[in-house]
Structure 1
């Protein structure tokens, strides 16, 4: 008797051409609707937040390939020494099967933020401080250089020195003392799984189980049961900022993507992220053609079949020259600016009756 081969994609895997009929949506309270605009399902464009393209530039792909080759050669010779933290699980994954997101631990974030704070404000305030000191010294009745030195002596230690010290201390720790700041977080935050079609929000309350024994709960549902929302709100200066979130249609499961893609004053960027998520999860279509996925494309059946049919160069991104890469980046930014999200019909309305 011949054993049946297990299908690669699970029954719940999302297919834009095979969305099942679902029950009517649960009515949301006014508070959950406030400042949120539902985005339409379907007809996504081939766009993605530009950071996804920048983080895996061809030059970086080639560097990583050289590092892997060197590692394999040293392993074969028995001379390989593992890099620090090589075997530490930082809980994040992003490949052809799943997009699992986690943040650095709060301890690691402290040093990163201290570095950004110290360096950023030092670069901003140093020229202002110098110009102000020169101007005040020029107006002083005392000799110019005496007045200038007096201003520095009175104000430098309480204004600029703390910023310089923060910058220096954080730089030292980040560059030379990795054991002081590289620490994994307690676990992942959310996951989108292309192979299973499931979206998971990791629950660190879990009815008190996490505090008792470290058990992380999982709130899981099929991708097609989530709706995307453009969440908008003013910043301190009154400018309107936007972020993408997805909310389960029937349960209290909400994922806010502000930690993945920064809050932006352009509504187009969250819309581009929504198109990317639909394309990534859609097993009737190949993976988005991004540098990050190039090494995995042959492992995803739909993508492998597409690449074979179209004759896609398997080294399309890694062999790309810098100028061509910049052209792709410019084209992506133009496509984001021209995204047509709010001109589309919500194709999910064919399968779900929305009550709000």
Structure 2
């Protein structure tokens, strides 16, 4: 590590080639209990592919944030060179929260954008028609103005909600100092290698990544990436006994979740440059490892590559780039990679299950064409340190 990096990163900073020996999970926290019954895979540590999830590679919202915040972007971004925040600390009143909640409910629930307004308007029309038809069977038929004007009133209300939603989408960023004040206290911290939480600070290498599956009432499956603390006896919530974990969303299939874990690992690993994504581009020169990487010409892109791309590209061009990147994520060799953590945690490798070469097979019914294989053994490149206090 260079002198500059030594001054910038703490001694606890995470490096994939220097993962210390750790204690096994406690007897009360077996691997089966550590992951829920709906976990379908535990993802390997290290051996980065270097492919980012499409949601972060081609982000729809970042450029709008950047254009409005400008120099303030460095202080209010969710992700920067120091930490990846996981909690918004809003310094606002309860009245503001209450009014904002109902504003969003009305503007999004009754707007013609997204279909909610059309549904409400259709109900109003049906109600009016039923009311008119019912008068034909009445001895004293009446056609009060309410029956005839009810759909028009609903249409006006939904139209107003649509205007409010447009204004919200265009100007909500103006309230970022209150609404998007990402805290440093609940975050994955690159400089220190620690994960800060409401339950204390824990080293990043004490967390494991799981693909978690959920199903709705219709049987549709949804998958998400859960990054969960391996030693819940030190971090569980005393109120409900749940272990400490974080959800990292990714748009699309299971390969995107693998890419999300790969990117998080590279973000925390100070032996790696910051992931080359739009939201981190303004911070690349502030991180020593990334700055050295870029100055050596290894990035192969201009310093403002993402900013220039979003300023010039049309939405159609960005859509095409997103589709092409999804294919890159799918084609990456995610399955059956070695796991560096197997040499650092006793019994870690014993909990493996067969993994498909095409990791997207986790998200579909068994197919004879799917090939499941065992993970190859990782080479032990970590120092032979004693187990830590956990």
Asked if Structure 1 and Structure 2 have the same fold, meaning a TM-score greater than 0.5 normalized by the shorter chain, the answer is yes
Which one of 31, 44, 48 corresponds to residue 44 of structure 1? 48
Cα distance in 2 between the residues matched to 1:155 and 1:228: 51
Cα distance in 2 between the residues matched to 1:306 and 1:177: 36
Cα distance in 1 between the residues matched to 2:151 and 2:330: 46
Cα distance in 2 between the residues matched to 1:5 and 1:135: 73
The answer to whether structure 1 residue 322 and structure 2 residue 313 are counterparts is yes
1:242: Cα distance to partner?
Answer: 1.0
Cα 1:138/1:174, change in 2 over 3 Å: same
Count residues with an aligned counterpart: 312
Alignment partner, residue 283 of structure 2: 296
The answer to whether structure 1 residue 347 and structure 2 residue 340 are counterparts is yes
Cα distance in 2 between the residues matched to 1:127 and 1:302: 56
1:276 is paired with a residue of what secondary structure?
helix
Q: TM-score, normalised by structure 1?
A: 0.68
Determine if contact 1:122/1:164 at 8 Å carries over to the other structure. no
Unaligned 5+ segments in structure 2 are 91-96, 137-141, 237-242, 352-390
1:137: Cα distance to partner?
Answer: 10
Cα distance in 2 between the residues matched to 1:308 and 1:177: 37
Cα 1:271/1:164, change in 2 over 3 Å: same
Which one of 273, 276, 293 corresponds to residue 286 of structure 1? 273
Cα distance in 2 between the residues matched to 1:104 and 1:278: 25
1:241-260 superposed matches below 5 A: 241-251=222-232, 252=236, 253-257=243-247
Which one of 249, 256, 259 corresponds to residue 261 of structure 1? 249
1:338: Cα distance to partner?
Answer: 3.2
Cα 1:161/1:4, change in 2 over 3 Å: closer
Stretch moving more, 320-329 or 38-47: 320-329
1:187: Cα distance to partner?
Answer: 7.7
2:307 is paired with a residue of what secondary structure?
coil
2:211 is paired with a residue of what secondary structure?
strand
Q: TM-score, normalised by structure 2?
A: 0.63
Determine if contact 2:109/2:117 at 8 Å carries over to the other structure. no
Alignment partner, residue 337 of structure 1: 330
Root mean square deviation of aligned Cα: 4.5
2:20 is paired with a residue of what secondary structure?
coil
Determine if contact 2:267/2:274 at 8 Å carries over to the other structure. yes
Cα distance in 2 between the residues matched to 1:177 and 1:305: 37
